[in-house]
Structure 1
Amino acid sequence: MARRDGDDFLDFAAAMGPRMRRTAFLLCGDWDRAGDIVQESLIRLYVAWPRLEPGPGMSSYARRTVVHVHADWARKRSSQEVVTDVLPQQQVDDATAGIPERVVLMNALAALPERQRACVVLRYYEDLGVAEVATLLGCREGTVKSQTARGIGALRRAYQRAGGDLGVDDRGPREEPAW
């Protein structure tokens, strides 16, 4: 395999960076931390770059790197967290953050346990199959299915508690009137 140059990496990073940051944000719930996760992911990708085969698998490799960096940071953070009574104000640089449904969804997503959040994000945002998510997270497919179902259920309950109407209940979607 021929060694690839830095220009190839810069093109790849420019193309994949925004998507990697959105995925990282959905995993961690903080834009600043998402940027740090992407930066660490890009460093790891750059180190591995000469060994990697170009092709469609590069985006999967980048996504897997983001998931692994987030998992590493979550493990480190769990032993370094400092409890505080006052949360700092954070400015969100997302243009749709003012939409109430999005705020409810993002808060509910942030409240999910790490594994449930990762399963929901990878299954529904990244549109990966159960087998791919299981491989990425290093668990069984049944675990992905159960964690995804629990995560979606928690998101649904949080949305309904906030007054949202999903058009579904425990029995499934409601039928629209045939007027």
Structure 2
Amino acid sequence: MDGTDIAFEEFVRSRSAALVRYGYVLTGNAHDAADLAQEALARLGSSWSRVRRRDDPEGYVRTTMARLHISRWRRLRRERLVGEVPDRGYADPGLANAEADAGLWQALGALPRRQRAVLVLRYYEQRGDDEIAALLGISRGTVRSQAARGLDKLRAKWAPAHPRVTSGRAR
């Protein structure tokens, strides 16, 4: 095994859990999150030497995950009816204050996919509107409107139980 293989394995070993958590925030489903992280890491593996030299490998994987997620929900835009109730939600113990924030994560998971993706990229990934627009293939105005609508829905669902949260600001 050469140094490149070892460096890639170390990256995967050290960052996999965080990438799966990021995938969960994007998808709202533990199984989809694991699939998303695995696919993005496989793509990173095939271009590891190039990415490691020029770019930030974690940024590459997170961008790949966001793009894969958007591609999937674009293909599956329409809601599908199923005969069985889906599995229950997953609460990752690695998230800070998971129990206290469970209502927020649940409310985020209930948002439409595009609104959830915009909010995750803006607040979890701390990306700007122009970067989000480029990642999702939408206009900057759509990013802003989806963020506003998503935040309104989160406030309506989550904020009443948390009186410190009003109009997006903590008291």
TM bracket, shorter-chain basis: 0.7 to 0.9
Give the gaps of 5 or more residues in structure 2.
Answer: none
AA aligned to 1:71 is I
Moved more, 25-34 or 84-93: 84-93
Q: CA RMSD in A?
A: 2.8
Q: Does 1:65 align with 2:64?
A: yes
Distance verdict in 2 for CA 1:88–1:114, change over 3 Å: closer
Distance verdict in 2 for CA 1:104–1:77, change over 3 Å: same
> What is the TM-score normalised by the length of structure 1?
0.78
Share of identical aligned residues, percent?
Answer: 33
In the aligned structure 1, how far is the partner of 2:78 from the partner of 2:136?
21
1:40-86: CA deviations, max 9, x gaps? 11111111223324355322211111112222333455569442353
**Preserved CA contact (<8 Å) 2:155 2:166:** no
In the aligned structure 2, how far is the partner of 1:109 from the partner of 1:79?
19
| Counterpart in the other structure of 1:17 | 16
**Preserved CA contact (<8 Å) 1:4 1:50:** no
Q: How many residues align?
A: 168
**Preserved CA contact (<8 Å) 2:26 2:120:** yes
1:108-127: CA deviations, max 9, x gaps? 11111111101100110111
* More relative contact order, 1 or 2 (CA 8 Å, 6+ apart): 1
Q: Which has the larger radius of gyration?
A: 1
AA aligned to 2:143 is V
1:73-110: CA deviations, max 9, x gaps? 334555694423534345544265433xx222122111
In the aligned structure 2, how far is the partner of 1:55 from the partner of 1:173?
39
Give the gaps of 5 or more residues in structure 1.
Answer: none
> What is the TM-score normalised by the length of structure 2?
0.81
Moved more, 82-91 or 43-52: 82-91
The 3-state SS of whatever aligns with 2:53 is coil
AA aligned to 2:114 is R
**Preserved CA contact (<8 Å) 2:70 2:136:** no
| Counterpart in the other structure of 2:162 | 164
Moved more, 12-21 or 63-72: 12-21
| Counterpart in the other structure of 2:129 | 130
